[in-house]
Structure 1
């Protein structure tokens, strides 16, 4: 089978399509013919070596975490799936395994039935950012219609889920987005949209109860200027050193920096599937064929993707 692999850390030029054996299926696994893989910032952070403390440095390795496809075979202990089922899921170890290949074998508890109303590209876009959005909601604590929330960089995959989930909570949301993404932010539930190409959110003379930075460009030190006295800043991409240091600093200040560390689970996927069946929208704004995987990552790494970008494998 064909797969995308790399043999050392680096930019997109280290990615290459290779031929390798189709994976065998263990008793608790399902073998899936992959139809689509979505792109996440985690993919290139791992590939560039930015997370080597957690991912290790063993090569060769593959890329891509969440996928959708059709069950081809099941292990002897699997009873919830059968060949022909349309599913989506994640690889077992997102730091070392990869889904961007023609086939993938994963434990059955990391696979879910695809909602009938969405396609494979949309289904492949659910697990990582959907789980992150639900985790962020939990980290916000109690929110009401009076809670003022700022989502900076609001119209990527994470923001797409978060805005729609917040809309269901009835809270007040200000979204920061580019000119081209303003209508999406409004459609997904933002009450106020700030165009960052024309205005600086840090000089708007507004303060917030919760700030979520999804752009990677607003640091906690900057965010503190527009945080209410007991506000929370949700850090969705913490550096390893920030996790213990934030816990210490939070003891001495009313303003808190909260780490958002998430992973897909049955609980989260059931909530997301229900939300999708109830009308939650998944925007896949750009789709690349399998043989243009390098171009797909170049496109995604430039930033500014509305919703998700995906790669069609077959």
Structure 2
């Protein structure tokens, strides 16, 4: 089978398509024939060497976190799935490995794919959808009659965060590029700010929560946008930001929290149910496995609306 691997940290040129044996499964695992894998910024932060403390420096390594596919085989202890089931799921966010024709996964890492959701859409849901849920329900804990600012609101997490926040009765202000203004409005943002025309440092309103999905807004700059007991959420768990968060939370009423994703079966099932109902999954572009370097190179440049996905045939 084909699998994307790399043997050193670097840019997209380190990614190689290699042949490997189909993995064997343990009694509590499933063998999945992968149909699609989504592209995430965390991918290139890991293969670029930015996350060494979390991912280790042991090679070879593989790429791809969230995926969709079909169950080919089940272990003897598996009870929730059967061969032929269409599923979505995700692997360890710092190890990856989904970009392969077949993968072995734990039963707890997958959920049934919503019937009316394509494999491409389903692959784009787990990582960013779970991130949006965790940010809104556990870190920022937004609810009715609160105001939240989402900076970088038309990326993978952002479009889910807008929709889910509105389901919670929250007033959403989305900060986006000119290209993303229409999409942010389309998916429910109450106020949309084009940062090209109005830089975020010129805003005068204060919010109950400020969520930075761009990884470019520092806590020191966000503080002026925050109410006295507001929460700032960032999505880059580097050693420096973790230390900064710890210090800030000791000495400030305004809290700084960092997303460190903790996937759960309940979360995956919640997402699948939301997608079955009315949660919209926005795709920017799809690629094939043979264009893996181009896919990541384009994604790294940014300016995407929603998610990009690699389709395996």
The alignment's TM-score, normalised by the length of structure 1, stands at 0.96
CA separation of 1:142/1:16 partners in 2, compared to 1, >3 Å: closer, same or farther?
A: closer
Alignment of 1:163-242 (within 5 A): 163-242=162-241
The residue aligned with 1:143 is: 143
Alignment of 1:9-48 (within 5 A): 9-48=9-48
Task: Tell me the distance in 1 between the aligned counterparts of 2:12 and 2:311.
Answer: 18
Task: Tell me the distance in 2 between the aligned counterparts of 1:116 and 1:176.
Answer: 33
> Are the counterparts in 1 of residues 135 and 141 from structure 2 also a CA contact under 8 Å?
no
> Are the counterparts in 1 of residues 147 and 207 from structure 2 also a CA contact under 8 Å?
yes
Task: Tell me the distance in 2 between the aligned counterparts of 1:165 and 1:211.
Answer: 15
The residue aligned with 1:162 is: 161
Superposed displacement of residue 248, structure 1: 3.5
Residue-by-residue CA offset, 1:191-216 (whole Å, 9 max, x unaligned): 00001121112112222121001011
> What is the DSSP-based 3-state SS (H/G/I as helix, E as strand, rest coil) of the residue aligned with 2:217?
coil
Residue-by-residue CA offset, 1:32-85 (whole Å, 9 max, x unaligned): 111000011111111011111111111111100111011111111112211111
CA separation of 1:36/1:75 partners in 2, compared to 1, >3 Å: closer, same or farther?
A: same
> Are the counterparts in 1 of residues 142 and 148 from structure 2 also a CA contact under 8 Å?
no
The residue aligned with 1:310 is: 309
> Are the counterparts in 1 of residues 117 and 276 from structure 2 also a CA contact under 8 Å?
no
Tell me how many residue pairs correspond in the alignment. 312
Alignment of 1:6-155 (within 5 A): 6-91=6-91, 93-137=92-136, 138-141=138-141, 143-145=143-145, 147-155=146-154
Q: Give unpaired runs (5+ residues) of structure 2.
A: none
> Are the counterparts in 1 of residues 249 and 256 from structure 2 also a CA contact under 8 Å?
yes
Superposed displacement of residue 244, structure 1: 4.4
> Are the counterparts in 2 of residues 232 and 258 from structure 1 also a CA contact under 8 Å?
yes
Superposed displacement of residue 243, structure 1: 2.6
The residue aligned with 1:257 is: 256
> What is the DSSP-based 3-state SS (H/G/I as helix, E as strand, rest coil) of the residue aligned with 2:294?
helix
Task: Tell me the distance in 1 between the aligned counterparts of 2:142 and 2:97.
Answer: 36
Which runs of structure 1 show a deviation greater than 3 angstroms over 4 or more consecutive aligned residues? none
Task: Tell me the distance in 2 between the aligned counterparts of 1:111 and 1:96.
Answer: 17
Superposed displacement of residue 96, structure 1: 2.4
The alignment's TM-score, normalised by the length of structure 2, stands at 0.96
Q: Give unpaired runs (5+ residues) of structure 1.
A: none
Residue-by-residue CA offset, 1:241-300 (whole Å, 9 max, x unaligned): 433442343232221111222122112112212211221000111000111111110111
Deviates more, 1:34-43 or 1:177-186: 177-186
> Are the counterparts in 2 of residues 128 and 263 from structure 1 also a CA contact under 8 Å?
no
